[in-house]
């Protein structure tokens, strides 16, 4: 079974703080993804990575950056959190870009 874990289930941060969200997978998958889920908007891709140190922008990368220093770990960074970044953040992993993605439990971030 694929296991995808995220560092926090709930986070409360203040505007302007730097926020780190971490995702770890144990299946040796090449591809890792960060999404945010908002009501009525579904899952929107922020960034993905297809290999160590490689990253690609998704549909909504503004205000975010990512880091993939090790294959199993993919971090999402909010350099200066803003209230419009309050959301549910989901990490996913897959063997190929086309196939099934396996999701972590999500991190619900509230920015005050």
Partner 1 sequence: DQQVKQNSPSLSVQEGRISILNCDYTNSMFDYFLWYKKYPAEGPTFLISISSIKDKNEDGRFTVFLNKSAKHLSLHIVPSQPGDSAVYFCAASDNNDMRFGAGTRLTVKP
| 106 makes contact with partner 1 (CB under 8 A) | yes
Q: 64 or 106: whose CB is closer to partner 1?
A: 106
How near is the Cβ of 52 to partner 1 at its closest, in Å?
Answer: 19
Q: Which of 32, 66, 90, 111 binds partner 1 (CB under 8 A)?
A: 90
Name which of 78, 70, 55, 56 is nearest 8 in CA terms.
Answer: 78
Could you identify the residue written with the tokens 């909504």? 60
| 105 makes contact with partner 1 (CB under 8 A) | yes
| 12 makes contact with partner 1 (CB under 8 A) | no
| 101 makes contact with partner 1 (CB under 8 A) | yes
């Amino acid at each position: 079974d694929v296991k995808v874990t995220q560092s926090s289930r709930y986070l409360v941060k203040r505007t302007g703080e730097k926020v780190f969200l971490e995702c770890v997978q144990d299946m040796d998958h090449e591809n890792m993804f960060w999404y945010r889920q908002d009501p009525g908007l579904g899952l929107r891709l922020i960034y993905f990575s297809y290999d160590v140190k490689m990253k690609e922008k998704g549909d909504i990368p503004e205000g975010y950056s990512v880091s993939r220093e090790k294959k199993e770990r993919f971090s999402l960074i909010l350099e200066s959190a803003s209230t419009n970044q309050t959301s549910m953040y989901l990490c996913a992993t897959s063997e190929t870009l086309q196939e099934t993605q396996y999701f972590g439990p999500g991190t619900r971030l509230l920015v005050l």
